[in-house]
């Protein structure tokens, strides 16, 4: 068996054709494919506005920037995520406050959020870990009562649902990533969706140096040279050939989700009832998009199992090292020393098993059999 990576893009000849067509056209960036991709995302999610950018990290950054919060404001978030989540808070001279997670879903614990709200708290940044939606109703209520913005890092949960609604319709702004490990890819890429026009306008500026016109607006015989720079933005633009790939990938998203779900069910079946192994759950009112499949190894040495699985060409992984453990965070002087007991315990036990649409039932059997062989 060749090395099985834990995640991988799924790209076919049709995708490649779409990219090549754009490379032969007049516009390879700031052209018509950008808004076409954004429109398709809005159509899929049911959102009003979408701004596509060059990465999920950039999307997080401009979403936080668009809140226009006073320097030093606190944003409550989870430590059990990729560093980009809380880095976006630091980019904007704001303070991430890490609160503990629930064991079942590894999502931020609403009761812990309540305990950590101070006068400086201005927003909550949640992550749908592995794709499983957070307790959004409860968190929205907390946000409403305390007058906080809610931002959802949905880099794991594109296509997921919560109580019948698609992820992307709950928070003030929702962020997606199109990195090759995510549900659909543009190589690198990301997007913010929102139903708030004010945020939308700021996001557009923030993506393009803070300038109120893009290349297309200043092209052609009737166009003027003039433009204004209204805020300190960045160049976070995505290219047209990436968006062409994104448009075609989005058509296949529901199929990818079905494939992931089918493979996850096979794991659930093959790994059930094993002493000391806790399988991931999926609450009744959540449609789980299965970005990653993670299990908890309660009675085993996770690091040893990790090494043994890797030796057998199985690309297991660990999601995540709690963010407050990284030296930058420890030494920054900006963040209070932090210890979240559930996060620590889960970090010790968790392992990610390979899951992506390029795998089949035989892969899942091979992985499961080897895991059982190693732990017995």
Ligand X SMILES: *Cc1c(COP(=O)(O)O)cnc(C)c1O
Considering the rule CB under 6 A, would residue 192 count as an interface residue with ligand X? no
For ligand X, the closer of residues 238 and 244 by Cβ is 238
Considering the rule CB under 6 A, would residue 173 count as an interface residue with ligand X? no
User: How far is the CA of 226 from the CAs of 112, 217, 223, 359, in angstroms?
Assistant: 50, 10, 9, 52
CA-nearest of 92, 150, 82, 45 to 321 is: 82
- Give the nearest distance from C-beta 16 to ligand X in angstroms: 21
Size of residue set near ligand X by CB under 6 A:
14
Considering the rule CB under 6 A, would residue 179 count as an interface residue with ligand X? yes
CB atoms within 10 A of CB 7: 21
DSSP per residue over 312-327, as a string?
TTB--B-----GGGSH
Considering the rule CB under 6 A, would residue 370 count as an interface residue with ligand X? no
Considering the rule CB under 6 A, would residue 190 count as an interface residue with ligand X? yes
For ligand X, the closer of residues 55 and 343 by Cβ is 55
- CA 255, CA 257: separation in Å to the nearest integer? 5
DSSP per residue over 162-205, as a string?
ETTEETTSSSSEEEEE--TTSSS--SS-EEEEES-HHHHHHHHH
| Long-range CB pairs of 332-339, under 8 A, 24+ apart, other chains included | 332/90, 334/90, 334/95, 335/95, 335/96, 335/98, 336/97, 338/79, 338/98
- Judged by CB under 6 A, which stretch of 2-10, 91-99, 149-157, 331-339 contacts ligand X? 149-157
- Residues 6+ away with beta carbon under 8 Å from 56: 84, 153, 155, 175, 176, 177, 178, 179, 182, 189, 190
Considering the rule CB under 6 A, would residue 238 count as an interface residue with ligand X? no
Query: According to CB under 6 A, which one of 18, 89, 95, 127 is a site residue for ligand X?
Result: 127
For ligand X, the closer of residues 122 and 179 by Cβ is 179
For ligand X, the closer of residues 85 and 282 by Cβ is 85
Considering the rule CB under 6 A, would residue 290 count as an interface residue with ligand X? no
On whether the CB atoms of residues 355 and 290 are closer than 8 A, the answer is yes
Query: According to CB under 6 A, which one of 85, 105, 174, 317 is a site residue for ligand X?
Result: 85
Q: At what angle do helices 32-45 and 240-251 cross, to 10 degrees?
A: 30
- DSSP label of 215: G
For ligand X, the closer of residues 44 and 366 by Cβ is 44
For ligand X, the closer of residues 343 and 370 by Cβ is 343
Considering the rule CB under 6 A, would residue 78 count as an interface residue with ligand X? no
- Give the nearest distance from C-beta 129 to ligand X in angstroms: 8
Range 38-57, binding ligand X (CB under 6 A): 55-57
- Give the nearest distance from C-beta 120 to ligand X in angstroms: 24
Considering the rule CB under 6 A, would residue 156 count as an interface residue with ligand X? yes
- Give the nearest distance from C-beta 127 to ligand X in angstroms: 5
In the bound complex, which residue of the shown chain has the CB atom lying closest to ligand X?
Answer: 56
- Give the nearest distance from C-beta 270 to ligand X in angstroms: 26
On whether the CB atoms of residues 117 and 146 are closer than 8 A, the answer is yes
Give first-to-last CA distance, the chain, whole Å.
Answer: 22
Tokens of residue 194, six digits = 């929102």
Binding region for ligand X (CB under 6 A): 55-57, 81-82, 84-85, 127, 153, 155-156, 177, 179, 190
């Amino acid at each position: 068996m060749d090395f099985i990576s834990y995640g991988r893009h799924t790209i076919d000849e049709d995708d490649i054709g779409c990219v090549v067509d754009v490379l032969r056209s007049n516009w390879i960036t700031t052209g018509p494919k950008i808004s076409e991709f954004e429109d398709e995302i809005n159509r899929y999610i049911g959102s009003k506005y979408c701004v596509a950018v060059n990465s999920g990290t950039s999307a997080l950054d401009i979403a936080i920037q668009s809140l226009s919060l006073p320097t030093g404001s606190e944003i409550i978030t989870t430590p059990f995520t990729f560093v980009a989540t809380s880095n976006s808070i630091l980019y904007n001279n704001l303070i991430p406050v890490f609160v503990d997670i629930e064991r079942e879903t590894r999502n931020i614990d609403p009761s812990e959020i309540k305990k950590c709200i101070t006068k400086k708290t201005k927003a909550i940044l949640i992550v749908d870990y592995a794709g499983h939606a957070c307790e959004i109703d409860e968190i929205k209520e907390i946000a409403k009562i305390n007058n906080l913005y809610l931002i959802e890092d949905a880099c794991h949960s594109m296509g997921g649902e919560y109580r019948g609604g698609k992820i992307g319709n709950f928070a003030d702004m929702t962020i997606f990533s199109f990195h090759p490990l995510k549900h659909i890819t543009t190589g690198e890429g990301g997007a913010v969706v929102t139903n708030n026009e004010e945020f939308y306008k700021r996001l557009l500026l923030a993506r393009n140096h803070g300038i109120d016109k893009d290349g297309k607006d200043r092209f052609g015989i009737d166009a003027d040279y003039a433009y204004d720079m209204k805020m300190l933005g960045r160049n976070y633009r995505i290219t047209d050939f990436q968006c062409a790939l994104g448009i075609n990938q989005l058509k296949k998203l529901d199929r990818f989700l079905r494939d992931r779900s089918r493979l996850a069910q096979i794991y659930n079946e093959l790994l059930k009832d094993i002493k000391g192994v806790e399988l991931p759950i999926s609450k009744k009112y959540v449609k789980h998009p299965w970005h990653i499949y993670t299990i908890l190894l309660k009675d085993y040495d996770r690091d040893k199992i990790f090494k043994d699985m890797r030796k057998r060409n199985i690309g297991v992984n660990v999601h995540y090292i709690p963010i407050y453990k990284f030296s930058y965070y420890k030494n920054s002087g900006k963040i209070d020393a932090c210890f979240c007991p559930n996060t620590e315990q889960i970090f010790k036990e968790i392992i990610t098993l390979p899951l992506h649409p390029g795998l089949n039932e035989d892969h899942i059997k091979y992985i499961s059999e080897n895991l059982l062989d190693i732990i017995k």
